């Protein structure tokens, strides 16, 4: 057997450089590069190998480990999970900074390869700088914290272990059912240790994206179940997008006149103006989707996790005769809500069921109901897009202006607060690549690094905008510097309403007075955070980084700033001062939260009692 002597770091780089993905008739290089922040736990091991010019992996310098991992996740998401960037860090705090990103990727079913440095496997210099020691188990290091949020975890304690670990990492990363965060912990001594690796370990390795079909007889079972119902509804989940099944779903829904609602990950897979598209579903959903879902006698959930936002905490489907069918590559998701599960690729399954249902000459009984309720909702959207408060600019108007301004193939990125709710209800995507939301984990701070990662994915010919609240921007925007360094322009539209108003709204809706959510100075008299608003000039902050920046307080200034931003060749921040509480509200949807059963405030007890009544209407499993 022919071998080559390499260090673990060198072998890992060589292996990653030769991984490919086969999707239908396309062969795609799977690993395109590596993000990193070098510390003592990685710079002279894996870092030495990355520095060598004998591979085709681009190195990107991060500013915050969580931020660069979010950027890598966004890169994979924007590429429909068909390309990735690996991420490396030092041990201890550098590694732990990536745990949040790992949870974000796993929750969203996005491939993310993390390569954190680790303590010495030989233990001789212990305890080294940044090493966490546990007296109850000396094998535990900071990297064990990844186990709860990873789909595959391994520690390379000997050089020869790299081979099985790396192959298993690719197995999970390229599996549409199991993908998520993968962690290969790299002890800093082992990174530099050498081994005689088989040459064929580094041969070009092609991982195939297999479109799992429905089993024999299953298309007939699904068609028969649908044919027995009069008012079925489809849920278009992220699996529709990642399967590239948007056209198949649109054709299926259109032929049989079945309306559908969208999840955050599925939104955009079908054009917003498709006659059967009712928009977002559930807590962040539209009036149209929620009313149809309430009375539907069947839910066909395609490629969705069925999380509490889109099922309205299991209350969205109120018809006592409703049946739930799922089509999903992931059995864990397919079995939720006591559904009848069908394990298959979304596109393949829809194409298999369609001819069977066609033979039954099936049609729903909605008649003109779908068109009427869709028209009613679009009237509401237009009202929100033109609404201004007497005190200033509304958040919904800013969204309407941005949507009108952007080109169809531009990308909008967002993640947390009230903006995902508004975007799922109001945004009008024309292409699957236009809408990029992280809402599986609702991770504040994804917005700016996510925009940078999306920009790396789409290239210089398309604009990337991120819509971020002031809270999300303050949480994490370090990769704005990376966008400037790389010459990858992003445009940040920052909604400044001086607080975490999404949560402030939730707090107030359950009878709790304003507390701890608005950005205010401490009132020395009452010793509470109830003083004057904290006024921040975010445009000046961005200008200090080297961005172009603008401040907008009205619609005219927003329009002018967007036009100027489009002409810029470097990253731009538009600081938009909006009125508090100018976002959308719920549209006949309910969300379960932990309300105190006992409180001195009558309003809180009333909210608790209302929730107890609502719990009588929800599905239990």
Residue 282 sits at φ, ψ, to 5 deg, of 95, -145
pLDDT of residue 321: 96
Domain identity same for 425 and 279: no
Domain identity same for 118 and 73: yes
pLDDT at residue 432 tops 90? no
* Cα 520–Cα 526–Cα 528 angle in degrees, nearest 5: 35
Do the domain assignments include residue 569?
yes
Do the domain assignments include residue 588?
no
For every residue of 20-81, DSSP letters joined together read EEEETTEEEESEEEEEE---TTTTTTHHHHHHSSSS-PEEEE-SSHHHHHHHHHHHHHHTTT
Specify whether the CB–CB gap between 244 and 80 falls below 8 A. Answer: yes
pLDDT at residue 357 tops 70? yes
Q: What value does the mean pLDDT take over residues 91-96?
A: 97
Report CA-CA distances (Å) from 425 to 264, 267, 269, 368: 10, 10, 15, 22
Do the domain assignments include residue 616?
no
Do the domain assignments include residue 521?
no
Domain identity same for 276 and 153: no
Q: What value does the mean pLDDT take over residues 32-41?
A: 96
Summarised one tens digit per residue, pLDDT across range 185-215 is 999 999 999 999 999 999 999 999 999 999 9
CA-derived radius of gyration, the chain: 25
Report residue 389's pLDDT band, with 50, 70 and 90 as the boundaries.
Answer: low
pLDDT of residue 92: 95
- Of 333, 352, 373, which residue is a domain's last? 373
Residue 353 sits at φ, ψ, to 5 deg, of -75, -35
* pTM (predicted TM-score): 0.97
What is the average pLDDT value for the chain, to the nearest integer? Answer: 96
Q: Please state, in angstroms and rounded to a whole number, the distance separating the CA atoms of residues 342 and 333.
A: 10
The H-assigned helical ranges of 79-191 are 93-96, 99-108, 162-173, 188-191
Domain identity same for 320 and 417: no
Domain identity same for 368 and 484: no
Domain identity same for 237 and 333: yes
Do the domain assignments include residue 407?
yes
Specify whether the CB–CB gap between 61 and 53 falls below 8 A. Answer: no
Domain identity same for 227 and 349: yes
pLDDT at residue 388 tops 80? no
pLDDT at residue 391 tops 90? no
pLDDT of residue 508: 86
Do the domain assignments include residue 526?
no
pLDDT of residue 387: 84
Which residue segment(s) compose the domain that 349 sits in?
Answer: 218-373
Domain identity same for 334 and 366: yes
Give me 224's structure tokens.
Answer: 């028969």
Summarised one tens digit per residue, pLDDT across range 465-520 is 999 999 999 999 999 999 999 999 999 999 999 999 999 888 989 999 989 999 99
Domain identity same for 205 and 229: no
**H or E stretch including 372?**
helix 369-385
Report CA-CA distances (Å) from 366 to 259, 273, 296, 350, 373: 9, 18, 10, 21, 11
Summarised one tens digit per residue, pLDDT across range 125-170 is 999 999 999 999 999 999 999 999 999 999 999 999 999 999 999 9
Domain identity same for 71 and 148: yes
Q: Please state, in angstroms and rounded to a whole number, the distance separating the CA atoms of residues 434 and 328.
A: 24
Cis before 484 (ω within 30): no
Do the domain assignments include residue 590?
no
Domain identity same for 222 and 325: yes
Do the domain assignments include residue 594?
no
Domain of residue 242, CATH code: 3.40.50.1220
Q: What value does the mean pLDDT take over residues 101-119?
A: 98
What single-letter DSSP state applies at residue 209? Answer: E
pLDDT of residue 308: 95
- Of 188, 209, 230, which residue is a domain's last? 209
Q: Please state, in angstroms and rounded to a whole number, the distance separating the CA atoms of residues 399 and 305.
A: 27
Residue 171 sits at φ, ψ, to 5 deg, of -55, -45
Percent of the chain with pLDDT over 90: 95
Counting beta carbons within 10 angstroms of the beta carbon of residue 274, is it exposed (0 to 12), middle (13 to 18) or buried (19 or more)? middle
Task: Classify 322 as helix, strand or coil.
Answer: coil
Q: What value does the mean pLDDT take over residues 287-292?
A: 98
β-pair partners for 518: 499
Sorted by sequence, the CB contacts under 8 Å of residue 153 that are 6+ apart come out as: 146, 147, 182, 183, 185
Number of domains present in the structure of the chain? 3
pLDDT of residue 41: 94
Per-residue HEC secondary structure of 574-587 comes to: EEEECCCCCCCCCC
Domain of residue 540, CATH code: 3.40.50.970
Report CA-CA distances (Å) from 494 to 497, 548, 549, 574: 9, 13, 11, 6
Q: Please state, in angstroms and rounded to a whole number, the distance separating the CA atoms of residues 358 and 360.
A: 5
Domain identity same for 107 and 190: yes
Summarised one tens digit per residue, pLDDT across range 560-606 is 999 999 999 999 999 999 999 888 988 999 999 999 999 999 999 99
Task: For residue 260, give the nearest of 239, 237, 236, 284 by alpha carbon.
Answer: 236
Report CA-CA distances (Å) from 167 to 57, 162, 163, 237, 456: 18, 8, 6, 29, 26
Q: What value does the mean pLDDT take over residues 267-277?
A: 97
């Amino acid at each position: 057997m022919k071998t080559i002597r390499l260090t673990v770091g060198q072998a890992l780089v060589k292996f990653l450089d030769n991984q490919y993905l086969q999707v239908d008739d396309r062969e795609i290089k799977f690993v395109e590069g590596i993000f990193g922040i070098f510390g003592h736990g990685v710079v002279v091991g894996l870092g030495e190998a990355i520095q060598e010019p004998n591979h085709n992996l681009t190195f990107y310098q991060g500013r915050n480990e969580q931020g660069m991992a979010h950027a890598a996740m966004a890169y994979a998401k924007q590429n429909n999970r068909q390309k990735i960037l690996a991420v490396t860090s030092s041990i201890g705090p550098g590694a732990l900074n990536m745990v949040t990103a790992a949870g974000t990727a796993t929750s969203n079913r996005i491939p993310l390869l993390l390569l954190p440095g680790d303590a010495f496997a030989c233990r001789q210099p212990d305890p080294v700088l940044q090493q966490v020691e546990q007296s109850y188990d000396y094998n535990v290091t900071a990297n064990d914290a990844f186990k709860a949020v990873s789909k595959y975890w391994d520690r390379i304690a000997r050089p020869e272990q790299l081979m099985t670990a790396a192959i298993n990492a690719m197995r999970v990363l390229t599996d549409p059912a199991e993908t998520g965060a993968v962690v290969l912990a790299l002890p800093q001594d082992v990174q530099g240790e050498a081994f005689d690796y088989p040459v064929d370990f580094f041969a070009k390795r092609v991982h195939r994206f297999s479109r799992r079909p429905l089993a024999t007889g299953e298309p007939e079972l699904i068609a028969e179940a649908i044919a027995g119902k009069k008012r079925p509804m489809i849920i278009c989940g992220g699996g529709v997008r990642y399967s590239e099944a948007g056209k198949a779903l649109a054709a299926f829904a259109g032929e049989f006149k079945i309306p559908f609602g969208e999840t955050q990950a599925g939104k955009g897979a079908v054009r917003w103006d498709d006659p059967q598209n009712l928009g977002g579903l559930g807590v962040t959903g539209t009036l149209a989707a929620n009313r149809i879902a309430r009375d539907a006698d069947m839910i066909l959930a395609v490629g969705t996790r069925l999380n509490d936002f889109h099922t309205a905490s299991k209350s969205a489907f109120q018809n006592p005769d409703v049946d739930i069918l799922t089509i999903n590559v992931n059995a864990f998701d397919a079995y939720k809500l006591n559904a009848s599960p069908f394990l298959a690729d979304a596109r393949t399954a829809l194409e298999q069921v369609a001819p069977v249902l066609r033979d039954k000459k099936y049609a729903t009984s909605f008649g003109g109901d779908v068109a009427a309720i869709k028209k009613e909702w679009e009237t509401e959207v237009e009202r929100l897009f033109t609404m201004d408060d007497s005190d200033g600019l509304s958040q919904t108007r800013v969204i309407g202006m941005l949507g009108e301004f952007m080109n169809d193939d531009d990308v909008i990125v967002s993640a947390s607060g009230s903006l995902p709710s508004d975007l799922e209800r109001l945004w009008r995507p024309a292409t699957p690549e236009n809408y990029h939301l992280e809402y599986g984990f609702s991770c504040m701070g994804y917005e700016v690094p996510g925009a940078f990662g999306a920009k790396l994915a789409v290239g210089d010919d398309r604009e990337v905008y991120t819509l971020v609240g002031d809270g999300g921007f303050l949480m994490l925007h370090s990769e704005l510097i990376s966008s400037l360094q790389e010459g990858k322009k992003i445009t940040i539209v920052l909604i400044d309403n001086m607080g975490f108003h999404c949560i402030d709204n939730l707090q107030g809706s359950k009878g709790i007075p304003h507390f701890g959510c608005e950005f205010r100075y401490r009132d020395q008299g009452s010793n509470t955070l109830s003083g004057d608003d904290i006024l921040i000039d975010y445009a000046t902050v961005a200008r200090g980084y080297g961005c172009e920046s603008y401040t907008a307080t009205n619609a005219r200034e927003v329009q002018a700033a967007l036009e100027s931003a489009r002409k810029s060749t470097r990253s731009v921040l538009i600081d938009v001062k909006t009125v508090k509480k100018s976002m959308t509200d719920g549209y006949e949807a309910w969300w379960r939260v932990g309300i105190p059963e006992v409180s001195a405030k009558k309003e809180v007890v009333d909210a608790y009692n209302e929730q107890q009544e609502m719990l009588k209407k929800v599905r239990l499993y």
